[in-house]
Structure formats: structure tokens, C-alpha cells
Structure 1
Amino acid sequence: MEINILGGGPEELLPDLSEFQQNGNLWVGVDRGVYTLLSKGITPFMAFGDFDSVTADELKEIEKHVHDLKKFKAEKDETDMELALNWALRQRPEKIRLFGATGGRLDHFLANVQLLLKPVLRNIELNIEIIDKKNHISIKSPGSYEMKIRNDRKYVSFIPMSPFVKGLTLEGFKYPLKDHSIPMGSTLCVSNELISDYGTFSFSEGILMVIRSQD
């Protein structure tokens, strides 16, 4: 099972959601993202939010179509996206995708990026990523990974999310590395590119953010 969560980010940044409509996938709406899903012909399995970003008529439409609706007060300790993600993690899916998590307010964006750390910090083996029209963002724990070239995501950046990422090795990239230590705050590994059909990256310590982007 895979879970797709749609937040309330700008619609113009959303990819084509039909590409992620595989059988067995569950859709979860967050605040205005619930109404966005309904407008695209997708009925979410669950919905979370204080719904302060929808009109009264839009909320009536949401309540009409979504059976499992979790409404919260605006004053709370977690964002609506975190509440939805916590529920998704409890379902133990194979993958979680976050949409509508970029654009708009920078504090919301940075908070959503930090949510990607939850599985790694809890030692949960789970593929979780943020996807918008131009970017894929994921978090990796130490190990070795293979990456396939994508013409629509030409640029690959590796950003430390811990004080150091140690033993970073990049093979099949325009700018290779061998057993390198990267401190947090370094931009050494921003805007790399694959030069063959496949490349590999590996590291021995730390937490690494991987971003695949297009201009």
C-alpha cells in the first residue's frame, strides 16, 4: 500500500496527480488539499485539517463527499500536514508521497521538509518524499542507492541534514566523489548531474537529503 497526501500548497505547483493513481493507493487530503482532490475527481480516504483555508460552501462540499473527516481547532501543537503524516505512518505503508507541500509560506515549506525526517529518526524503513511539478525531495539514511537518469529531473543535489555526512561516494555523476565528508551548510553537492543511464551514491554516517529538480 502507498499513501498520497495532498496539502494546501498552490495548485500551479502540483504535478499531474493521475500519474499516482495506481490501484491500492490511498489518498489523504489536508485542509484545502481536500477540496483540491475533490475538484480533480479524487475522493480522499481520510481528511485532516482546521479548514480555515476553505469557504463555508467548500466545507459543505467536503463534508458531503468525505466520510472520514478529522476536524481540529486552529490552535494546536501540530500542523495539519503533520497530523495527516502521523496517521499515515501508523498504517505502515510501503511509500508516502506529500503533494501540495511546497510554495507559499516558507515556514510551512521548511516544516514539511523536516517532516521527511520522521521515519529516519524513528529507525523506520520507509520511502517518503515531497513531490511538486519540478522537484522530488527525499531523505536517506546510510547505505548504497542506485539512481536512474530522468530527463525531466536533470539536476541532483545532496544536502546534509545532520552535522556531517561521512563517506559520501558518487559514481556515474558529472562531479564524482570518493569517501568524502560533507558538513551541514556545505553547498558542494548542489546541482550535480548523471552522465549515464544509472548512477550510485552511498555514505556511511549521517542523514542526507536528495533533491531531483528541473529548471
Structure 2
Amino acid sequence: MKTCYIFGAAPVEDTDWIQVDVKKEDTVICADGGYQLAKRIGVKPDWLVGDFDSNREEVDFSQVIRVKPEKDDTDLYLAVSQGRKLGYTRFVVYGALGGRFDHSIANVQMMMGCIQEGISITIRDAQNEVTAIKDGRIEIQKGGFHYFSLFSLTEESRGVTIEGAAYPLDRATLTSNFPLGVSNEVCGEKAVVSVENGILLVVLSKDWNQTEKGSI
């Protein structure tokens, strides 16, 4: 499936973990200061979008969408909107977690709104991979991430089933006010998560030092 890659302006110290394979049918959009992150890893954007309050560099680029700082939408939301106009329904986002916590929450809310319209967004950083599912299922492979957690973005997510994990569930109900689904682990080659009715935020994560387990 063709993919729209988006780079945001959240701080990224080490870029070695970023592996982007941009194919001919894909596109790359930088949200404001995300242009600097794309440059650091040698990825050329197709579009630049934002009010450019976090990118002071003069940009010599033909496909730029420049907006006023006084706006309702975040730069990342504007980048996703541009990708949708170009016909993309699958987005992979870098530089959108960490830094300002309010922007991280805004990005999760954006994911919730998009998944209701059939738009898939995955946000990645050095420790986490975050996505959402609605009335569906997802397979979580054993590998790079030690933990996975589920959070209900709707008031209730009903019929939640977890198979192949340390803490299985069978058609349970997760609510938005209690983190029952936090910190699970894949037991075999993969775990399968499904929800019959509701929206689940799915977070894959690992500790900074993977030789030590952390908990909260």
C-alpha cells in the first residue's frame, strides 16, 4: 500500500533507528521544522507545510504550503490533510512524540479522528510505535519492542480479545478511565488484538536499556 511519510518538529537526538524506504508511489511531507529532521537522514520532501515558526531557515522549495501562525490546526494535522488531498490513507509519522506534551496529545486525538474515517496513522520514535484500530484487529510481532499496551480512546471499547500474550483477554471491555491494557508482552511469534466495538490506541514500546525491564 502506498504510504505518506510525514516528519514533524519534535526533538529527535539519535536518528539511527529511522529506516525509511520511500518508493515511487509514496510521498514525503515535512511539517514545519520536520524539514530539518528529513535533511538529517537524507530524505528529500515532496511538500513542506506549516507556519514555519520552528523552521527559521529560508526554504528554497517549489511545493510549500505556508499558513498563518494564528490557526486552529497543528502543522502536523495540516501535513496529514495535505496527504489526504493527494489520495493517501496510510501515514507513517516521525518527529511527533516527545518534546511538548500538548502536541503529543494533539497527535493522538488526530489519530482518533482519522481512524474513524478509515485513515491509518502510525507514529514512531526511538522507543515507541503508536497506532489506532477501530472495530478491527492487529497482529503484533515479537521483535523490536518488548511491550505493548492498549488504551480505549472511546468511552468504552467492547469485545477486546488478546491472544498470544502474557495477559490474554476474551471479549473484555476496556474503558477510557482505567488503564487495564497497559504493559503486556508477546509470548510466541506474535500476539493478535481485536476489538468488536470501539477505538483502541495501540502502543508498542521498549525501555532505553533493553537489558533491564521497567514498569510503572
**Fold-level similarity (TM above 0.5):** yes
User: What CA distance in whole angstroms lies between the structure 2 residues aligned with 1:31 and 1:130?
Assistant: 17
Aligned residue among 171, 174, 196 for 1:179: 171
Q: Which residue of 1 aligns with 2:27?
A: 26
Q: Does residue 120 of the first structure (1) align with residue 121 of the second (2)?
A: no
Deviation at 1:208, TM superposition (A): 0.4
**What are the equivalent positions in structure 2 for 1:74-153 lying under 5 Å apart?**
74-122=69-117, 124=118, 126-150=119-143, 152-153=144-145
State TM-score, norm by structure 1.
0.89
Residue 4 (str. 1) matches residue 2 (str. 2): no
Contact 1:13 / 1:100 at 8 angstroms: preserved in 2? no
Deviation at 1:201, TM superposition (A): 1.4
RMSD: 1.6
Which ranges in structure 1 are unaligned for 5 or more consecutive residues? Answer: none
- Tell me the matched-pair count: 205
Alpha-carbon offset, residue 92 of structure 1: 2.7
Aligned counterpart, 1:204 = 196
Q: Secondary structure at the match of 1:138?
A: strand
Percent of pairs identical after alignment? 29
SS of the counterpart of 2:53? Answer: coil
Q: Deviations over 1:133-163 (max 9, x none)?
A: 110000101123322112x211000000001
Question: How far has the Cα of 1:113 moved from its partner?
Answer: 1.2
1:118 & 1:30 partners in 2: Cα distance? 19
1:50 corresponds to which residue? 51
TM-score normalised over the length of structure 2: 0.89
DSSP-derived class of the 1:81 partner:
helix
Offset of residue 210 of structure 1: 0.3
Equivalent pair of 1:172/1:198 in contact (CA under 8 Å): yes
**What is the distance in 2 between the residues matched to 1:170 and 1:46?**
39
Give 1:39 shift.
3.6
For residues 11-69 of structure 1, give each alpha carbon's deviation from its aligned partner in whole angstroms, at most 9, with x where no partner exists. 2265633x2123223111111111332243222100011111233xx22xx2x2x2201
Mapped contact 2:9–2:34 kept (Cα < 8 A): yes
Q: Is it true that 1:213 corresponds to 2:205 in the alignment?
A: yes
1:43 and 1:139 map into 2 onto residues whose CA distance is 28
- Contact 1:7/1:99 (8 A) holds in 2: yes
- Runs of 4+ aligned residues of structure 1 deviating over 3 Å after TM superposition are 13-17
Q: Match for residue 167 of structure 1?
A: 159
